[in-house]
Structure 1
Amino acid sequence: MRMTKEIKRERDESDDPDQQKSYGMIFEQDIPIPVSDGLVLRANVFRPDAEGNFPVIMAQGVYGKDLHFEDGFKTQWDQLTGVYPELCSNGSTGRYLRWETADPERWVPDGFVIIQIDSRGCGKSPGYLDPRSPREIVDYYDAIEWAARQPWSNGKIGLLGISYYAVTQWRVATLRPPHLAAICPWEGYTDYYRDSTHHGGILSSGFANYWWPKQCLAVQHGNGASPHRERETGKRVTGEEELSEQELIANRTDYVADILRHSLDSAWWRERTPVLDRIEVPVLSAGNWGGPGMHLRGNIEGFLGTGSRQKWLSLHVGKHWEGFYLPEYVAMQKRFFNHFLRDEQNGWQNEPEVRIVVRDPRGDRVRAASSFPLPETQPTRHYLDVASGMLSTDCPAEQCIAIFDAMGEGLSFTTAPFAVDTEFTGFITAHLWVSSSTEDMDLFAVLRMVDGAGKEVVINGAHEASPVSRGWLRVSHRRLDPQRSNALRPFHAHDRVEPLVPGEFYEVDVEIWPTSMVFPKGYRLVLTIMGKDFEFPDIPGRILHKHESDRGGATFQGSSRVVTGGTRASYLTLPHIPSINDREE
């Protein structure tokens, strides 16, 4: 164990002005945390240099607690420091910044303990590497209870972190650790199958292709070939033990094979997905509108589904790794945890339950609301018309059919230029009549924005250049779960494959992920329906669906048809938010 003692040089400009004390920091590295099956995890503990009992902010994950953010994720680091050049000044040296977790130098001076844990099988923690497995979540429970017993702890534990460090918060909260007091899952999905790996039943190939080898195996415990070293000591972040390649393989699951083997929702997925109504602790769920295909849906569903009586939803914009570190959001996180971990009466209890950044190409704005979907939402149908290529609130009288190549550019339907600024915020559904020349088809439904000059608007999304939103459906997975579907959004069961009869038409609902966007006067909304991933010209996509085992062969490369009008009307249901003037009328 290595211990260092540091003195805070100045206060973070985002600190709560009512908090008078500013503490120095003690850093304890590789602290042992025993868990219930006898294994010992390793953690880094950052705590105030003072006697007393302090609230704890914890994160447990697979990315290596000793790997500096910049060393592991240089591209993202450069983008973050470009947006926030004061990241490593004004209260922090940046020395302890780790990917997707809190900066101890911005928290410890305010009287918080920060704990970062290598989950089993990664970094300095031995054991079998099986990300998000039930055993890993039991370890998290044990670590929470361990922290509550420490002499520097006040017995109230909060969880904070992005992505992986958010996903596991939802999970461990369902186990109800007695000393867990609040969670803040920041851009972290809930439904492992629908939100992450199988969008509409279609395998998302990115995690299999890059996440597992580059972000997990590179920091597997005992990996002597790992390129990652601690900055100060030069030691491997994967520990001193060096395992052979055969031992490394034996000490981990085959993640890609697991995902491919479980192509339908099943008990395997359900034991890795939280039962949200079991969560009782206060929740601040923070999602990113620019993230269709990763996390956004989960943050909203988590907020709606949690059993917590005290819960808040915040929806922001920007890159996935940016907002979490910006001063205004650090201040929000601190207010939330100060209230629930040390009973500080700072007004948090009076915060509106919903805070959203409403996107607008001319400049975003913030709106507060009492619920989500917004109470004033007016679900509005926009009918597809093959004959004109338009989207209109009038249903075409004549039935028309359009044919497109599944691997081609698809079909696009466009609104007339909006006569006034028009906002859509909430859930979206495409109700379509479709047919395939083969026994299955994949639908990729994309919402796009075109400005008054006819130029496509490309959004700086959470993970990649993004359209307004996206939706997916494998048509053989078209069956809805009647208990979980409602008038605003479909919920597909994904529990069986129902092959298509080539040439026969089927009525399907495609869930398009929620969005918030103002279309200025003169702009148009475009719905594009394709049989493959939508990518902007010359901008390669990142969250793609191209795995050979899932989409290879002829089944998904046939010709597809869409019917519009008459008795087989296809339409898009959009969450229209009337303007203030409209509401007053």
Structure 2
Amino acid sequence: MDRRSFVRAGLAGAGMAGLGRPLDLEAAAGGAAGADLQASAEADGDVVIVKDVPVPMRDGLDLMTDLYLPAADGVPLEEPLPAVLARTPYDKMRPISIEHAMFFARNGYVSVVQDCRGRFNSGGDFFPFVQEPEDGYDTVEWVAQHPSCDGQVGTYGVSYQAWVQFETATLNPPSLKTMIPYQGPTNAYTYSMKCGGALGLGLLQWILSVASNGNEARANPQITEAIDEMRTGQTFLDWASRTPWRRGETPLSLAPTYEEAAHQLYFDNYDYSDFWRQPGLGMDEHFESYPDMPILWVVGWFDWYPRTISDGYQAMVRMGRENQHILIGPWTHNNFASSIGEVNFGTEGARIVTYDDYLNLELRWFDRWLKGDESADVWAPAKYFIMGGGDGRKAENGRINQGGEWRYEESWPPAAARATAFHLHEGGTLAPEAPSARTSSTTYTYDPRNTVSSNGRCIVAYGPALEFGFQGMGPRDQIEMETLPGHGIPGMPIASRPDVLVFQTDPLPEDLTIAGDITAVLFISSDAPDTDFYVKLLDVHPTSPDYPSGYAFPVSEGILRARYRDGFEQSVLMTEGEVYRLEFPLEPSANLFRAGHRIRVDVYSSSFPNFDINRNTGNPRDRRWRVANNTVHHEAGNASHLSLPLLP
């Protein structure tokens, strides 16, 4: 019996043809699984859905996978078609996963969604990231050999579903022809968990979220309750202030597999070692092994991952990989809203306003590279949003009009961008001219018991952001928010704190636009063996009837833990009073600073809860604290500055 006849027989029945009726798994899975197992199939108009097909991995474990097959009259089409694959730890039966899978199937693709190892219907234990290269490779090649597939596979997905794409590509599966990683990192250490050597707490909170519905928690609802309380709202901030955690001493110990993952990823491997270089964590270490394929790199300015997406795209271009495209919008994580945080950006010139718009771009991308449709419009290679240029008034929704415009160009960063130094000067001035003073510096006192609140590009939703989720985690005026008791004064300007250094230009005489990579160079000294230096770039609006004190719009930020100033492979403590040169990247950005605005640079030593609290002892496992007196030098021989990518 041929495949079409077989599936027709499996779907035969009254009412909705074959709803929930069993299919012979060997046929449904293309002959790859044992006959003693069964999947189930149902027809949904022009799509046949085959659920819970066990796809075998190289170690003998099966991962449960749903196939969405284009059909006519409830029967899969005979013609083999390209396949698109999404692998998820979030449940392949989530409505959004089903919606996206159905979209691609209805547009002529074998659409495949799989539960990652140890998640929901798939067996085994879940250890984030490290298991995905082999599982991804085996799944891609299994899909490519399925009778419904023509041997070509593309991948898509957001967040962890982007991680798994990068991880799969490290092993060079021959059937992987293109991918669309949307908001995910190319290196877990550099861009996610150890940003500048500081612990990025957003992924620690994420580990708690997946632990709360992991295997242990699903077997015992009380575990879910305990972990949920730990991971949300003020309680998470309290736990985050008590890092490093110790095994067995938090509610996460109720889910041992997730506790072990948290400790290995956060508290056991501080330096950049071979642990981080493995394909599941150091994906950019293996770029040479990637298939030579088109990639659409997608991110938002206020997401977790603009720098990694920008760096990854640029690395592939430098390697000579063709058909690399990048899309950067004014978004937070997994949304395309033009109003986020406290800011309106507007939609003028936007080709993506809703998630449906983005799905259609993905479809055109797959049509171009999996079906060879040269008429599919995938736009220019670089599609990015330049923020700024709005009227700065408060709109009806209560948000400031920052404004902006879309650019469609041949490269990112723009070829016309020129790195231009803006120097820190005595008295809080920021200017292109280098300082001439023989000695000049500013000292501030950083107390780990009184951190500065993360505000603007905060990864951990807290305070006002809790109500709005990812859309609430966008840009905000630089006003302190309540984090931990006794930390800061909520409602006061961050710039008014004595432990925040502020350097700003005079009001700009004309518009100034930046687009591209941003680098901080600080000459510093300290009386502590280790401390953090955090830099934020701001677009300061002048006073107005709506904002009598002006408005400080966050453009970019970056951090470096001083003990990693010579590299992340080994920490080197500081000697009191010695001057050190720190050079570290900020997040890339694109912003128009209007005439009359100021460019401002803030320097301080904490940003909680985005990053863990550096207790200044130099020993990450030491829970004691000490005050650090930190100095930033801005003199002729030690000219601290920001390098900004100016457009003419």
* Structure 1 partner of 2:137: 141
Q: Indicate conservation of the 8 Å contact 2:212/2:223, yes or no.
A: no
What whole-Å deviation, never above 9, does each CA across 1:456-484 have from its counterpart, x for those lacking one? 6466xxxxxxx2111010111111xxxxx
| 2:355 aligned with 1:326 | yes
Provide the C-alpha distance between the structure 2 equivalents of 1:423 and 1:396, rounded to a whole number of angstroms.
23
What whole-Å deviation, never above 9, does each CA across 1:188-219 have from its counterpart, x for those lacking one? 110110100011111122322x2112124413
* Structure 2 partner of 1:71: none
* Structure 2 partner of 1:118: 115
The structure 1 residue matched to 2:647, chosen from 535, 560, 577, is 577
What whole-Å deviation, never above 9, does each CA across 1:376-417 have from its counterpart, x for those lacking one? 01111111012x211011122213121101236320101111
The structure 2 residue matched to 1:378, chosen from 418, 431, 456, is 418
Provide the C-alpha distance between the structure 2 equivalents of 1:419 and 1:428, rounded to a whole number of angstroms.
22
* Structure 2 partner of 1:61: 88
| 2:285 aligned with 1:195 | no
Opposite residue 362 of structure 2, the aligned amino acid is: Q
| 2:298 aligned with 1:289 | no
What whole-Å deviation, never above 9, does each CA across 1:330-376 have from its counterpart, x for those lacking one? 22211111111111122558x43211111125122111222222110
Aligned 1:387-536 pairs, distance under 5 A: 388-398=427-437, 399-407=439-447, 409-453=499-543, 455=549, 457=551, 467-479=554-566, 493-533=567-607
What whole-Å deviation, never above 9, does each CA across 1:250-304 have from its counterpart, x for those lacking one? 656712210211101111111021212322121111121123xx22111111112
* Structure 1 partner of 2:483: none
Provide the C-alpha distance between the structure 2 equivalents of 1:298 and 1:56, rounded to a whole number of angstroms.
27
Q: Secondary structure at the match of 2:133?
A: helix
Q: Indicate conservation of the 8 Å contact 1:123/1:221, yes or no.
A: no
Aligned 1:81-120 pairs, distance under 5 A: 96-98=95-97, 103-120=100-117
What whole-Å deviation, never above 9, does each CA across 1:44-72 have from its counterpart, x for those lacking one? 22221241222211111322222x3xxxx
Seq. identity, %: 23
Provide the C-alpha distance between the structure 2 equivalents of 1:396 and 1:276, rounded to a whole number of angstroms.
41
CA drift of 1:150 comes to 1.3
| 2:402 aligned with 1:335 | no
What whole-Å deviation, never above 9, does each CA across 1:7-65 have from its counterpart, x for those lacking one? 2xxxxxxxxxxxxxxxx122222111111111000012222124122221111132222
CA drift of 1:3 comes to 2.5
* Structure 1 partner of 2:288: 277
Q: Indicate conservation of the 8 Å contact 1:418/1:521, yes or no.
A: yes
* Structure 1 partner of 2:163: 167
| 2:612 aligned with 1:545 | yes
- Give the 3 Å change call, closer, same or farther, for CA 248–566 of structure 1 in structure 2: closer
- Give the 3 Å change call, closer, same or farther, for CA 121–276 of structure 1 in structure 2: same
Provide the C-alpha distance between the structure 2 equivalents of 1:6 and 1:415, rounded to a whole number of angstroms.
61
The structure 2 residue matched to 1:369, chosen from 403, 409, 428, is 409
Q: Indicate conservation of the 8 Å contact 2:223/2:254, yes or no.
A: no
Calculate the aligned-residue CA RMSD, in Å: 2.6
* Structure 2 partner of 1:39: 61
- Give the 3 Å change call, closer, same or farther, for CA 44–357 of structure 1 in structure 2: same
Larger relative contact order, structure 1 or 2 (CA cutoff 8 Å, min sep 6): 1
CA drift of 1:524 comes to 1.1
The structure 1 residue matched to 2:219, chosen from 224, 229, 248, is 224
* Structure 2 partner of 1:582: none
The structure 1 residue matched to 2:151, chosen from 146, 151, 155, is 155
The structure 2 residue matched to 1:182, chosen from 178, 194, 215, is 178
Q: Indicate conservation of the 8 Å contact 1:189/1:196, yes or no.
A: yes
What whole-Å deviation, never above 9, does each CA across 1:500-557 have from its counterpart, x for those lacking one? 0012111111221111111111111111111100xxxxxxx65332388848656663
Provide the C-alpha distance between the structure 2 equivalents of 1:577 and 1:127, rounded to a whole number of angstroms.
52
Q: Secondary structure at the match of 1:402?
A: strand
Opposite residue 195 of structure 2, the aligned amino acid is: H
What whole-Å deviation, never above 9, does each CA across 1:103-158 have from its counterpart, x for those lacking one? 1232222112221111111111111211111x332011111111111121121110
* Structure 2 partner of 1:3: 41
- Give the 3 Å change call, closer, same or farther, for CA 30–149 of structure 1 in structure 2: same
Q: Indicate conservation of the 8 Å contact 1:126/1:221, yes or no.
A: no
What whole-Å deviation, never above 9, does each CA across 1:193-250 have from its counterpart, x for those lacking one? 0100011111122322x21121244133783235999xxxxxxxxxxxxxxx999856
- Give the 3 Å change call, closer, same or farther, for CA 370–390 of structure 1 in structure 2: same
Computing the radius of gyration from Cα coordinates, the structure with the larger value is 2
Number of paired residues?
484
Q: Indicate conservation of the 8 Å contact 1:439/1:555, yes or no.
A: no
Opposite residue 263 of structure 1, the aligned amino acid is: Y
Q: Indicate conservation of the 8 Å contact 2:185/2:191, yes or no.
A: yes
Provide the C-alpha distance between the structure 2 equivalents of 1:370 and 1:392, rounded to a whole number of angstroms.
31
Provide the C-alpha distance between the structure 2 equivalents of 1:344 and 1:48, rounded to a whole number of angstroms.
19
- Give the 3 Å change call, closer, same or farther, for CA 550–361 of structure 1 in structure 2: farther
TM-score (structure 2 length as normaliser):
0.70
Structure 1, 524-533 or 170-179: larger mean CA deviation? 170-179
Q: Indicate conservation of the 8 Å contact 1:122/1:221, yes or no.
A: no
The structure 1 residue matched to 2:323, chosen from 272, 285, 310, is 310
Provide the C-alpha distance between the structure 2 equivalents of 1:147 and 1:40, rounded to a whole number of angstroms.
14
The structure 2 residue matched to 1:267, chosen from 274, 282, 290, is 274
Q: Secondary structure at the match of 2:96?
A: coil
Structure 1, 135-144 or 43-52: larger mean CA deviation? 43-52
- Give the 3 Å change call, closer, same or farther, for CA 142–390 of structure 1 in structure 2: same
What whole-Å deviation, never above 9, does each CA across 1:292-320 have from its counterpart, x for those lacking one? xx221111111122353221111112231
- Give the 3 Å change call, closer, same or farther, for CA 373–532 of structure 1 in structure 2: same
Unaligned runs of 5+ in 2: 1-38, 225-250, 337-351, 391-402, 448-497
TM-score (structure 1 length as normaliser):
0.78
